[in-house]
Amino acid sequence: MKRLSRYRRHKAAGPALLIFALLAIGTTFSVASATTTAQTTTADRSALIEEGRQIFLKGCSSCHGLNSEGGAIAPSLVGVGAASVDFQVGTGRMPMADMSTQAMRKEPLYTPEETAALAAYVASLAPGPEIPTEEQLNYERDGSTAEGGELFRNNCAMCHNFAGQGGALTQGKYAPTLMGVEPKHIYEAMVTGPQSMPVFSDKTITPEEKMSIIKWIKAAEAEPNLGGASLGRVGPVTEGLLAWTLGLGVLIGVAVWLAMKAR
């Protein structure tokens, strides 16, 4: 996935890239809003919930229980809210492919419409965090990159690394990279606290501040490599490796040539 997004960036020149990114985000929004407008009337809504329940019974209930009450291997979904479902299912984490240490981001199994139905069903069980609307997610207008950076370093960098590249947690768990994650999903993760991640309440980090964080992450993602190849933006480890291999390696190569007798 990471490689794919980098490849996409390869194809486009700087300004074109920006336009492309904006277009991509815009398209996502229109898809997202298309699903939300479907929930306008009550009749539509109960139909949606019923559709979600059917999907749930087929795809989720074996682990989460017929009434979402949870089980030995999966938590209860009562009160987790639509945002949680949208994040877990929308990023492909749920349903889990295997019972490994943690659910990985992958190609979503359900279509956006099915995801919306599932979210509506789970939200109907008990109130919980809502999926942010397109209007709420206007981070380009409402956010401040610098303030977002400050908040990010205070609240996120300890797990996701200074540039959002992800990092290790205990016992093989890890904080995933934030590169290429949709703004909606970043927001949902902050309010729902999926898996190892804690919840960042709207009172301690206000929705406006969350927009700033998203804006900073998107800025970091779009930031070109100012000083040469980024080496993964993971700090001195890769730098040391390169100094020994490419740096000293080339120098030793030249030294061997230097000491060789000419013919």
Partner 1 sequence: MTAEARLGQVANYVDERTGAAAWMKKNLQKVFPDHWSFLLGEVALYSFIILLLSGTFLTFWFDPSQREVIYEGSYAPLEGIKMSAAYASTLHISFEVRGGLLMRQIHHWAALIFMAAIVAHLMRVFFTGAFRKPREGNWIIGVGLLTLGIVEGFLGYSLPDDLLSGTGIRIAEAIIQAIPVVGSYLAYFAFGGAFPGEAFIPRIYTVHVLLLPGAFLALITAHLMLVWYQKHTQYPGPGRTEKNVVGYPLMPVYMAKAGGFFFIVFGVIAFLSAVASINPIWLYGPYTPGQISAGSQPDWYMGWLDGLVRMAPPLESHYFGYTVSWNILIPGLIVPGILFTGMALYPFIESWITGDKREHHLLDRPRNAPNRTALGAMSITFMIVALINGGNDLIATHFDLSINQIMWGTRFGIFILPPIAFVVTKRLCLSLQRADRELVLHGRETGRLLRLPHGEFVEVHEPISPEKAYLLTSHEQAPALELPEVDGRGVKRAGAIRNKIRSRMSVAHSEAIPKVSADDLKEIEH
Partner 2 sequence: MSNEIEAIKDPGLPAHVHRKADHDPVAAKRAERQVAILFGISALGTLLLIFSYSFIPDDVFIFIPVMGEQNAHQLGLGLGMAISLFFIGMGAIHWAKTLMPDQEVIAHRHEFRSPDSDRKEFVQAVKDGAGAAGLGRRSLIKRSLGAALGLSALSPILLLRDLGPLPGNELEKTTWKAGTHLVTDPGNRRIKASDLEVGAVAQVLPEIEDPEHRHLSDIAKDAVLLIRLRPDEFNLDADRLAMTHEGIIAFSKICSHMGCAVALYEQQTKHLLCPCHQSTFDVTRAAKVIFGPAARPLPQLDITVDGEGYLVARNPFSEPVGPSFWERDSR
Site for partner 2 in 160-219 (CB under 8 A): 167, 169-171, 173, 175, 193, 195-201, 203-206, 209
Q: Closer CB to partner 2, residue 32 or residue 205?
A: 205
Q: Which of residues 4, 99, 256, 262 is near partner 2 by CB under 8 A?
A: 262
Residues in the chain: 263
Which residue is associated with the tokens 């390696």?
A: 249
Under a CB-based contact definition with an 8 Å cutoff, are residues 175 and 102 in contact?
A: no
Residue 200, C-beta contacts closer than 8 angstroms, at least 6 positions apart: 155, 190, 191, 193, 210
Under a CB-based contact definition with an 8 Å cutoff, are residues 92 and 105 in contact?
A: yes
* CB 199 to partner 2: min, Å: 4
Distance CA 242, CA 254 (A): 17
Is 145 one of the binding residues for partner 2 (CB under 8 A)?
Answer: no
Q: Which of these ranges, 39-47, 116-124, 130-138, 143-151, lies near partner 2 under the rule CB under 8 A?
A: 143-151
- φ, ψ of residue 174 to 5 degrees: the values are -150, 155
* CB 241 to partner 2: min, Å: 16
Q: Which of residues 162, 197, 199, 207 is near partner 1 by CB under 8 A?
A: 162
Instruction: Report the alpha-carbon angle 235-156-141, nearest 5.
Output: 110
Which residue is associated with the tokens 């981001």?
A: 105
Which amino acid is it at 209?
Answer: E
* CB 168 to partner 2: min, Å: 8
Is 261 one of the binding residues for partner 2 (CB under 8 A)?
Answer: yes
The strand pair at 174-175 and 167-168 is best described as antiparallel
Q: Closer CB to partner 2, residue 42 or residue 225?
A: 225
Q: Closer CB to partner 2, residue 66 or residue 251?
A: 251
User: How far is Cα of residue 17 from the mean position of the Cα atoms in its chain?
Assistant: 20
Is 42 one of the binding residues for partner 2 (CB under 8 A)?
Answer: no
Under a CB-based contact definition with an 8 Å cutoff, are residues 117 and 162 in contact?
A: no
Is 208 one of the binding residues for partner 1 (CB under 8 A)?
Answer: no
Which amino acid is it at 143?
Answer: G
Judged by the rule CB under 8 A, the positions of this chain that interact with partner 2 are 6, 9-10, 13-14, 17, 147, 150-151, 154-155, 158-159, 167, 169-171, 173, 175, 193, 195-201, 203-206, 209, 224-230, 254, 257-258, 260-263
